[in-house]
Chains A and B, each alone.
Chain A
Amino acid sequence: MSHEHAQEHEHAEYSELSEMDARVRALETLLTEHGLVDRAALDAVVERYETEVGPHNGAAVIAKAWTDPKYKEWLLSDADAAIASLGYVGRQGEHMVVVENTPERHNMVVCTLCSCYPWPVLGLPPVWYKSPAYRSKAVIDPRGVLSDFGVELPDDTQIKVWDSTAEVRYLVLPMRPEGTEDLTEEELAALVNRNSMIGTGLAGTQQEVS
């Protein structure tokens, strides 16, 4: 095998990555040269969604709802205003609805048609949220989805699935873990993971944090 051939083989193994890398770079160069995009603006977008906007925002909302009954009431009746009061606004968060988990009813959110997701409070969706496996299964077998995530609920717990087919974005208010009465709002926020706010997981226990 010649040296060139070995290189080709190496490329083929990562064909999608290298193809996409080249394709996106070409697109960026073309659009920049034509004055349609500004590279600094692209960097700012990446920075925003890589570091500033993420599930830590949603966790702050949930922790506040757990500790402040008035805020929780506001959040459940007018999520737009209650979430905006903490500064989490922006695209894909224009029409928020918060749904509360109880021992009787567990909520799960999906977008079967694409990838609708509440960016201001959860950041960008994870790969599995956008995958055919999740989008197909969540509405017909949500208990099976929970099982894929290692979560088993009692058979008589009702599972309510919210398919985000319009611009309404849903955030699950998970149940507050037991034994967390003495925790501060900040410590509680650390118990709230992304999956618990989509409904494919539960809020963590104190042990998981320490």
Chain B
Amino acid sequence: MNGVHDMGGFHSFGPVVPESDQHVFHAEWEKRALALTLAVGALGLWNIDQMRHEREKLPPSIYLSSSYYKIWTLALENAIVALDLLERTDLTARTADQLIAGFAGQGSYERPTDTRPAYAVGQQVRTRELNPAGHTRLPRYARAHVGTVIAVHGAHVFPDRNAVPLGERPEKTPEWLYTVEFTGRELWGPDGDPQIMVSIDAWEPYLEAAE
């Protein structure tokens, strides 16, 4: 979706304000917000793409004026309401050991496929001009531009289909995933820095062959 979360290339957000790497949290509630989100997520009622979509669906004014863990908390509240979690009796909390064991285990997003990748490293591709109302991971600044495939990662879960509304069954058919590199001039025009390159990770449905 074309939401305010899709920020690449916006101007006027001001300078980046660095901070030391000593501060993981800035308030006690942030710790609990993180832990609650991970603990409820471990119940297995949604996937990463559905939860991202819950966050990006927040009203733009709320999204932009909320701190990061507030965005997480608001999305979590909405998910709890959408799934009527407080009324469900078939769910049991994960213990600390189960939760941490779950985090340590590697959960790959790569999936087997019978298809062959349509593009190869070195090939020129054009990103499609897509504007889906639902979840997508093709950022606006990188749409309808020509780039070069620099890596093929295998077939991965496709977010645009994985992020179905909460409570519905996600469609997990994977798509080939590529890293596509663009010159700064291709993305930002003749006034762009000639010495920058930008890449995105793009699934095959985001791409078409370029001449």
Please classify how large the interface on chain B is, using the bins under 10, 10 to 19, 20 to 34, 35 or more. Answer: 35 or more
Give, as a whole number of angstroms, the nearest-CB distance from A135 to chain B.
Answer: 4
Residue B6 at the chain A interface, CB threshold 8 Å: yes
Residues of A within 8 A of B179 (CB): 162, 168
Cβ–Cβ contact A165 & B195, under 8 A: no
Cβ–Cβ contact A165 & B202, under 8 A: yes
Please classify how large the interface on chain A is, using the bins under 10, 10 to 19, 20 to 34, 35 or more. Answer: 35 or more
Residues of A within 8 A of B98 (CB): 41
Interface centre among B31, B156, B198 (most CB of A within 10 A): B198
Residues of A within 8 A of B201 (CB): 163-166, 168
Residue A12 at the chain B interface, CB threshold 8 Å: no
Cβ–Cβ contact A158 & B197, under 8 A: yes
Known: A30-B86, A126-B19, A166-B201. A16 touches B73 (CB 8 A): no
Give, as a whole number of angstroms, the nearest-CB distance from A161 to chain B.
Answer: 5
State which of A89, A110, A200 has its C-beta within 8 Å of the C-beta of B18: A200
Q: Mark B7-27, 1 if CB is under 8 A from A, else 0.
A: 111110111111101011111
Q: Which residue of A lies closest to B65 (CB)?
A: A16
Q: Which residue of B lies closest to A194 (CB)?
A: B21
Cβ–Cβ contact B6 & A20, under 8 A: no
Give, as a whole number of angstroms, the nearest-CB distance from A93 to chain B.
Answer: 8
Residue A8 at the chain B interface, CB threshold 8 Å: no
Q: Which residue of B lies closest to A91 (CB)?
A: B103
Cβ–Cβ contact A137 & B16, under 8 A: yes
Residue B210 at the chain A interface, CB threshold 8 Å: no
Cβ–Cβ contact B55 & A114, under 8 A: yes
Cβ–Cβ contact A139 & B27, under 8 A: no
Q: Mark A151-167, 1 if CB is under 8 A from B, else 0.
A: 00001111111111111
State which of A31, A48, A141 has its C-beta within 8 Å of the C-beta of B100: A48
Cβ–Cβ contact A148 & B8, under 8 A: no
Cα separation A40 to B93 with both chains bound (whole Å): 11
Cβ–Cβ contact B27 & A140, under 8 A: no
Cα separation A159 to B197 with both chains bound (whole Å): 6
Q: Which residue of B lies closest to A89 (CB)?
A: B106
Query: How many pairs of A and B residues are in contact by the CB < 8 Å rule?
Result: 264
Q: Mark A18-39, 1 if CB is under 8 A from B, else 0.
A: 0011011101101110111110
Cβ–Cβ contact A36 & B91, under 8 A: yes
Residue A124 at the chain B interface, CB threshold 8 Å: yes
Residues of A within 8 A of B33 (CB): 20, 24
Cβ–Cβ contact A133 & B15, under 8 A: yes
Residue A127 at the chain B interface, CB threshold 8 Å: yes
Cβ–Cβ contact A24 & B109, under 8 A: no
Residue B118 at the chain A interface, CB threshold 8 Å: no
Q: Which residue of A lies closest to B48 (CB)?
A: A167
Cα separation A50 to B28 with both chains bound (whole Å): 12
Within 8 A of A (CB), among B90-141: 91-96, 98-100, 103-110, 137-139, 141
Known: A16-B67, A112-B6, A166-B137. A195 touches B109 (CB 8 A): no
Cβ–Cβ contact B15 & A148, under 8 A: yes
Cβ–Cβ contact A45 & B99, under 8 A: yes
Cα separation A90 to B106 with both chains bound (whole Å): 5
Residues of A within 8 A of B25 (CB): 50
What are 9 pairs between A and B in contact, CB < 8 Å? Answer: A31-B36, A40-B95, A44-B99, A126-B19, A127-B19, A127-B68, A133-B15, A140-B192, A163-B200
**Beyond A31-B36, A113-B5, A124-B24: 11 further Cβ-contacts under 8 Å?**
A36-B85, A38-B39, A42-B36, A45-B39, A49-B24, A94-B106, A95-B110, A113-B137, A128-B16, A165-B137, A165-B200
